[in-house]
A = this chain, B = another copy of it.
């Protein structure tokens, strides 16, 4: 949308921290960029940047304006979605931030099913930890977030919430695979591999261990759940994951067992959006679908 060009430039300047660099990014000269910014500031009635030796930085007024721009952009996208809807085109774009556990099975299935119905809808999937995901929503960088055990929950509007019991993941021949359910002490007494503490699963493990005056000390710490899942096949070790990220590979190599709820309470997997925002049509419908799928597969009550 051409009429927002000035805003795009302002955002670029804010991001680059320098007019000349931003000018290069946007493929115009620094003088043209500078004049546009100055002219807008004059019209707007207030400067948007602090001019420092060495560059510029947004001032509070600039922050507010940029926020307005993002909100406008998001609303415009919603309108365009609605218009596409009534011309029957059904195009659109869905962007979401999610935890890693959703990547192997759940999201691919959901997205594929949705795209089978609406082939012209495109997707952007960003993997984020729990804190980042909420940041994404706040800045309108993502329409939806699907995260395990989010932290802040301000400006975060819950669409669907399902419980997820932490499971231990191990090779099928691991001794603990004999038991139908593991106790926390089983896990702590055997070598384990886990993600860093900014992830929800680890957070629950740490918390539970502290409660039992024990300490959770993984031999290997990795951000990648895929790495964890594969590593337990190479060394007698247990990893951790939530059910939505687990499925039997079919070759009998992997086993996973729930950890007793009295040791580690079930965590929450939450689908949410920015509070008070009205989503583009495509995102809203996708959210409905995902919410229904979550409820059907993992909902607290059996239907």
Contacts and interface: CB of A to CB of B under 8 A. Distances in A.
Given A3-B4, A43-B1, A68 B79 contact: yes
Nearest to A80: B45
B75 A71 contact: yes
State the main secondary structure of chain A at its contact with B. Answer: helix
A83 B3 contact: no
Given A68-B76, A75-B71, A83 B6 contact: no
Contacts of A6: 3
A72 interface: yes
Contacts of A5: 3
A213 interface: no
A276 interface: yes
25 contacts: A1-B43, A1-B44, A3-B3, A3-B4, A3-B5, A3-B6, A3-B7, A44-B80, A44-B83, A45-B84, A46-B84, A46-B87, A60-B83, A60-B86, A61-B83, A61-B86, A61-B87, A64-B82, A65-B79, A68-B75, A68-B76, A68-B79, A71-B75, A72-B72, A72-B75
